Chains A and B, each alone.
Chain A
Amino acid sequence: MATVRAPIWGTPIFDGAQAIKGYALNKMCYSFNDAVNRNEFLANEAAYCARFGLNPEQYAAIQNRNVLQLIAAGGNIYYLAKFAGILGLNVQDIGAQQTGMTVEAFKAKLLAAGV
């Protein structure tokens, strides 16, 4: 019998179902390891996304620069981090976006965890 675990609030688990769902999106983000591909994406986003076969949900999430939507569309945070890199966003920026906080408030929350 399959192991079923209670979901953990606010915590996506990238498993087989997500891997299937997000393959095209993650493959595109993986391509951003190469600077040539990053520049190609920036030159023509629509064409670059079409080449990787993103579905409408994935393409909208890319256009919206929205990390929670990208994850819901099957994105894996490690590959998405390379997309965030193109946008000049670090992990505090994307943390703030996902939690609905300002970047300053998000950083303060991290500092508070050590007190």
Chain B
Amino acid sequence: MAKLVGGIATSHIPAIGLAIANGLQQDAYWKPFFDGFPPVREWLARVKPDVAIVIYNDHGLNFFLDKMPTFAIGAATEYRNADEGWGLKALAPFPGDPRMSWHLIEELVAADFDLSTCQEMLVDHGFTVPMSLLWQDVVPRAVRVVPLAINTVQHPLPSPRRCYNLGVALGKAIESYPADLRVVVVGTGGLSHQLDGERAGFINREFDLRCLDDIVNRPDELLNLSIHDLVEQAGSQGAEFILWLVMRGALSCHGVREIARKYHIPVSNTGAGLLLLESVS
């Protein structure tokens, strides 16, 4: 059976991708952020996951408002990025695992999570930045991927509790897959930031630090937050924290051990977070 080896969560700000493309990791502005990643990469090198389930939000590349799924999962043989309107570089394609995708689809729909399924799916910076940070775009790519996109573009967004429960079902689905694979779940986005409105530039360090602590030790305490609460306390785009909650839900069938944590303000307009939790037992 497949084994869920751990969960990682990281911010996915587009400026990180540009900093990587321009080799700015040691630049004074960027160094404190990038310095959080070596322990995570060391863990990945040791544990060697075969598959990464990447929970992200599409920022208007693959999905438009004509058809906006709340939950959408990839079932493609490979995934490509695109320039997103800003001239971003094409990255090497990300190999998929359609058999695993369809297993997850079967199990999640059976658990009452009715996902949209995508045999073609462009992946944007929400997906590619974490992949670049964690696996550094080494080719051939070390992991196969299953992208799982959650709507954060158009309200109503799914609640924190709903997303955590999706994660719980995802964790069970992963561990019922009949192949000896090591699987990691990657939550992306957050932490506090707001791009739009007169409150643009809002960052809430205190709330972010509480979320980082609670998601490790007391995730239940976060589940009564509403989307409105998240927007108020973490900013409009800080609601992306629901993607971290999917990751944490997936690990709920195990105990967790915290391996790495980093918080840094600012990365672009964002309070940037990084967390690595290893499954115990």
Any A CB within 8 A of the CB of B15: yes
Q: What size tier do the contact residues of chain B reach? A: 35 or more
A33-B61 contact given A8-B199, A12-B196, A91-B269, CB 8 Å threshold:
yes
Q: Mark A1-32, 1 if CB is under 8 A from B, else 0.
A: 00001001111111110010001001101101
Alpha-carbon separation in the docked complex, A34 to B251 (Å): 39
Give the contacts of A65-99 with B (CB-CB under 8 A). Answer: 67-68, 71, 76-82, 85-86, 90-92, 94-95, 98-99
Q: Is the CB of B271 within 8 A of A10?
A: no
Any B CB within 8 A of the CB of A56: no
Alpha-carbon separation in the docked complex, A23 to B235 (Å): 24
A residues in contact with B237, CB < 8 Å: 77
Closest residue of chain A to B194, judged by CB?
Answer: A11
23 contacts between A and B (CB under 8 A): A11-B202, A11-B231, A14-B155, A15-B156, A23-B65, A27-B64, A30-B60, A30-B65, A33-B61, A38-B85, A78-B60, A78-B153, A81-B60, A82-B84, A85-B84, A90-B15, A95-B269, A98-B198, A109-B201, A110-B269, A111-B265, A111-B266, A114-B271
CB distance from B2 to the nearest CB of A (A): 34
Closest residue of chain A to B201, judged by CB?
Answer: A95
CB distance from B260 to the nearest CB of A (A): 19
A residues in contact with B223, CB < 8 Å: none
Identify which of A5, A14, A29 contacts B153 (C-beta below 8 A).
Answer: A14
Any A CB within 8 A of the CB of B195: yes
Q: Is the CB of A71 within 8 A of B196?
A: yes
Give the contacts of B50-70 with A (CB-CB under 8 A). Answer: 59-61, 64-66
Q: What size tier do the contact residues of chain A reach? A: 35 or more
A11-B60 contact given A33-B84, A71-B196, A91-B269, CB 8 Å threshold:
no
Q: Is the CB of A67 within 8 A of B196?
A: yes
A15-B154 contact given A33-B83, A113-B266, A114-B265, CB 8 Å threshold:
yes
